[in-house]
Structure 1
Amino acid sequence: MTNLKAKSESRDDDDDDDDEAEGPDGGWGWVLVVALFISTSLVFGLMRSLGIFFVEFVQYFQESAQAISWISSTGLAAQQFFSPLGAALCNAFNARVVVMMGGFLAGLGLILASQATCLVHLYLTMGVISGLGWGLVFTPMVATVMANFTRRRTLALGLGFSSIGLSSFAFNPLFQLLVEMYAWRGALLILGGLSLNIVPCGALIRPQQRVKPPAQVDSESKSSSCGDVLRRVSSYLELSLLFERPYITYTLAVTLFNVGYFVPYFHLVAHSRQAGFSEYQAAFVMSAAGAADILGRVVSGWFSGLGHFRLIHLLSLWTGLAGLFIMLLPVSSLSGSYTALMAISLLYGFCSGALTSLVFAVVPMIVGVERMMGGLGLLQLIESGAGLLGTPLSGLLKDITGSYLASFMVAGSFVILGTLTMTTLPHYFSCTDPPHPQRRSLHDKDKGLHPELEQMNHKTAE
């Protein structure tokens, strides 16, 4: 009887471990999906619609397209650059406070930008301050939602990210109307007030009890030396991931995507107006792409959840098609056909929306759920350089050639190159996913920073 009871208790414990590993799949998580829906619309939806201000800034400041492009690219790069800071602060403290502070900074930057008198002012406000706020919001919100779902993770992300397409559809004509009614200064002031709505979204995150690892508690009780501080910072940032080939390969691929992914959202309006279409026709092109983006995110999330194909293969499909359609955007308008431009914009919008949730859903499959927050933060940091250089490169090519043809061709080429880079991932051509990474303790992370020492310890144990 004792043995049977012990086996039963052991089996129950195993079941509990399996449930804990699988994690929840709904409940309060759906409330967080709504919070993600709103916050992402006020981050990336707003960021995508800044092309309306591009033309206004060029006319007001009398600067080149390359110089004006640095405003949006600085904000994008700052959002990605500060994402590890947001992840580390969440690991160390509380995700709720971090997201609320990020929402405040995002609104503050746009409010201050409404008073700008030079481009440097816009770089610091719309770029650095708002970008810092966006960095403190996006990664913690995404990681919080992913932690509340397992089987429906891709669907939850798809629904949460669908707001980006919806806001792109709504914000472009809205921003154009605001600019006409209140000029660009009044429009930015209103957008700053809208961005403050991120603060209550962060308040919906439930604070969780954090249990410090024994090794960390011991180190704190013994001393507060520089080595202890560095180990603690390393554990919060998950720096050991930088020594793992699958993560580095995947990060390189996403970085290449990032060079060209945002170019249409910043320059398609200007290209459409250069092609001879009216202001509202140009704005509606982006709105149509945003509507297709919504459909792409939901369809991709639903189809990925069926499990018929590996997520990495679906991601490769959507990124390859997105790169192709970016290259076709200027070609479709060479004949002056608004219908052709609209058709390609719809196809690009669908593919760009379909790939977004998959980019983040693949991360826990590579690094494990436990290191997901740090993995997302480092991913955003590394790709920030591409976000910083992508749109200025596009603007430079426009200044040199006089049109956006070369800009879109180069942007699409980078996306396709990133797709090819993904094919070098281990087990990429396998029909089944490799085993998920096992849970690693703080001690394991420290060993990961010193592979030779880890091998020596393993031999000694044998």
Structure 2
Amino acid sequence: MKNPESYKYKWVVLLSASLTCSLTWGLAYTIGLFYISWVDEFDAGNGEVAVIGGINTGVSCLLGFGFGLAYFGASLAVNKYFIQQRTFAEGMATFGSGAGGFGFTILSQYLIVTYGWRGAMLIFSGTALHIVVLFQLTFSPDQLDYLKLNWKTPNATDKSSELGYEVSNKDDSDLASVGSDDKIEIDDEREVQFFRSNDPENRTWLRRCTGMFRNPLFLLMLFTEFLCWIAVYVPFVHLPERARLLGIDATTVTWIASSISLSMCFGRIAITGICSALKIDPFYAYGFVNVVSGLLTVFSPFLTTKDGLLCYAIFYGLFYVSVPLIRASAASLLGADVFSMAYGWIVAISGVGLFIGPALAGLLYDITGSYDATFYASGACLIACGTMVAFRNKAKRIQDAKMTADVIYKRYEL
């Protein structure tokens, strides 16, 4: 198999993925300004209205259609073409989220003032249709044989995926490790044939999922992502309203909201570039940026001026790099061959967090009459998420032990 990184077309795929992110998450990041309009329009509690913000992104993550399907497909395409440069490529792909968030936030304020929030949503709906055009560029026509679109197609790693690790041999050196940085070499031809079994039962979706959920590293990622997404989207939804309640004018509120996305652009390129150049484990980097984001959020209630909130928005966006880092982590730690399944579950658990996070944050405001508790709680969740990464090596040791035990068991069973 030719190394996919040698294809020049990968840069077209990367550009398409970045633009897709701008039309999915970029549009989603404008929710804060619409939130202000909905609070005024419906005269409802902040917690009740904030549910809309969670539905906007939570449904797309949980069910894989609409923005979720487009974003997920773009993620898979990038990971197929970039291996050695995966972390940096993920940063470049998600750069579009920040760029889109900045541009669309500025535009949304103009559209809401000019056409109302309903008219603005109609215009953004038409804009989002351009995703269809971008996906025509996602796959190179001459590479369709390599990028298997039929998920039922048998492959050599199905059985190993069920067990949570991968078996390699001399003729198949391109397979990625699942749950370990090292491959397990097995010379016994019978065992190789066992793992390459064509038994349809061994390739069922349920059995493969069972294998994934036996992997402690995978479970650790799920838990950290759940904590992350309870909190990470809260500033996008609630910071503009908090700024307005502090008496800040509408124009400045717009710039505060858009500053998160603008600084996100630079942060995702800079931090993922550093990780790639210095070969820093993306999962450790994921923990670091979440701890920093959490600390910034915990101290943000002490910032009550427009300059203070603007500084918070800039630095929060600068360290909001969790999305490309968790994607790179899933591919490198769990294996590129099961990335689509693993990341699908990660996105789904993120959707659960997105459903409840903004709503709980709004409910805290309704109960306390202040956004202080909202940002304290959100910051605490992000700090907890980041510190959980410290269990990475312990989870890996447990997984290595399970791998060894499974290989020994299968050897004597055969």
**CA separation of 1:198 and 1:246: change in aligned 2, threshold 3 A:** same
Q: 2:48 aligns with which of 38, 46, 67?
A: 67
Question: In structure 1, which of residues 214, 220, 245 is the aligned counterpart of residue 216 of structure 2?
Answer: 245
AA aligned to 1:50 is I
1:67-92 deviation digits (Å, cap 9, x = unpaired): 11111201221121124xxxxxxxxx
- Partner in structure 2 of residue 460 of structure 1: 413
Work out whether 1:261 is the aligned partner of 2:225.
no
> Where does residue 341 of structure 2 map in the other structure?
374
- Judging changes above 3 Å, is the alpha-carbon distance between structure 1 residues 286 and 216 closer, same or farther for their aligned structure 2 residues? closer
Name the CA distance, whole Å, in 1 between partners of 2:312 and 2:108: 23
Q: Which amino acid aligns with 2:230?
A: V
Q: Using a 3 Å threshold, how does the CA distance of structure 1 residues 417 and 203 change in structure 2: closer, same or farther?
A: same
Corresponding residue for 1:233?
Answer: 205
3-state DSSP class of the match of 2:393?
Answer: coil
Q: Does 1:338 align with 2:309?
A: no
Q: Map 1:50-89 onto structure 2 (within 5 A).
A: 50-83=31-64
Of residues 121, 129, 137, the one that matches 1:188 is 121
Per-residue deviation, 1:213:
2.1
**Letter of the 2:154 counterpart:** P
Distance in structure 2 (CA, Å) of the matches to 1:216 and 1:387 = 33
Structure 2: gaps of 5 or more residues: 159-198
Kept after mapping to 2: 8 A contact 1:254/1:383: yes
CA distance in 2 between counterparts of 1:229 and 1:246 reads 25
Paired residues of 1:290 and 1:349 also in contact (CA < 8 A):
yes
Shift of 1:411: 0.6
CA distance in 2, matches of 1:309, 1:382: 25
Is 1:48 the equivalent of 2:29?
A: yes
User: Using CA pairs below 8 Å that are at least 6 residues apart, which structure has the higher relative contact order?
Assistant: 2
Give, in whole Å, the separation in 1 of the partners of 2:360 and 2:351: 14
User: Corresponding residue for 1:104?
Assistant: none
Output the CA distance in 2 between the equivalents of 1:279 and 1:229: 59
Q: CA deviation at 1:370?
A: 0.5
Q: Which of 309, 324, 328 is residue 357 of structure 1 equivalent to? A: 324
1:342 corresponds to which letter in structure 2?
L
Query: CA deviation digits over 1:10-32, x for unaligned, max 9?
Result: xxxxxx7xx64xx4155111111
Q: 2:368 aligns with which of 395, 401, 425?
A: 401
CA distance in 1, matches of 2:382, 2:62: 20
Question: 1:307 aligned to 255, 268, 278, which one?
Answer: 278
Query: Identity over aligned residues, as a percent?
Result: 22
One-letter identity of the residue aligned with 1:391: P
> 1:197 maps to what in 2?
130
Do the aligned residues in 2 keep the contact of 1:49 with 1:168 (CA within 8 Å)?
yes
Tell me how far 1:139 sits from its aligned partner: 1.4
Corresponding residue of 2:11:
30
After TM superposition, give the deviation of residue 424 of structure 1 in Å. 0.9
1:347 is matched by which residue type in structure 2? F
CA RMSD of aligned residues (A): 2.8
Partner letter of residue 142 of structure 1?
Answer: S
Superposed CA offset, 1:323-381 (max 9, x none): 11122222211xxx2212211221111001x3331111110122111111111101111
1:393–1:343 CA distance, 2 compared to 1 (3 A) = same
- Given that 1:300 and 1:355 are in contact with CA atoms closer than 8 Å, whether structure 2 keeps it comes out as no
CA contact (8 A) 2:17 2:138 kept: no
Alignment of 1:50-449 (within 5 A): 50-83=31-64, 132-206=65-139, 208-209=144-145, 210=148, 212-213=153-154, 231-234=203-206, 238-333=209-304, 337-352=305-320, 354-426=321-393
Deviations 1:390-429 (A, max 9, x none): 000000001011111110110111011111211112268x
Structure 1 unaligned residues grouped into runs of 5+: 1-15, 84-131, 218-226, 438-446
CA shift, 1:163, in A, is 1.5
Q: CA deviation at 1:266?
A: 0.5
Letter in 1 for 2:129: L
Shift of 1:457: 3.7
Native 8 Å contact 2:287 2:388 kept in 1: no
Q: Distance in 1 between matches of 2:295 and 2:360?
A: 19
Query: Could you tell me how far apart the structure 1 residues matched to 2:61 and 2:88 are?
Result: 24
State the secondary structure of the residue aligned to 1:213: coil
Structure 2 partner of 1:4: none
Count, aligned residues: 364
One-letter amino acid matched to 2:318: F
Q: What is the distance in 2 between the residues matched to 1:214 and 1:256?
A: 34
| Alpha-carbon distance between aligned partners in 2 of 1:361 and 1:392, rounded to the nearest angstrom | 29
Amino acid at match of 2:108: F
Q: Determine the C-alpha separation between the residues in 1 that align with 2:204 and 2:156.
A: 10
| Inter-partner Cα distance in structure 2 for 1:342 and 1:286 | 8
Report the CA distance shift for 1:201/1:214 in structure 2 as closer, same or farther (over 3 A): closer
Query: Relative to 1, partners in 2 of residues 1:308 and 1:162: Cα closer, same or farther, differing over 3 Å?
Result: same
For residues 154-191 of structure 1, what are the alpha-carbon distances to aligned partners after superposition, in whole Å with 9 as ceiling and x for unaligned?
22211111111112222222101101111111111101
CA distance in 2, matches of 1:365, 1:214: 20
* Cα gap change, 1:453 to 1:427, in 2 (>3 Å): closer
Deviation at 1:195, TM superposition (A): 0.4
Distance 2:18 2:280 in 1: 26
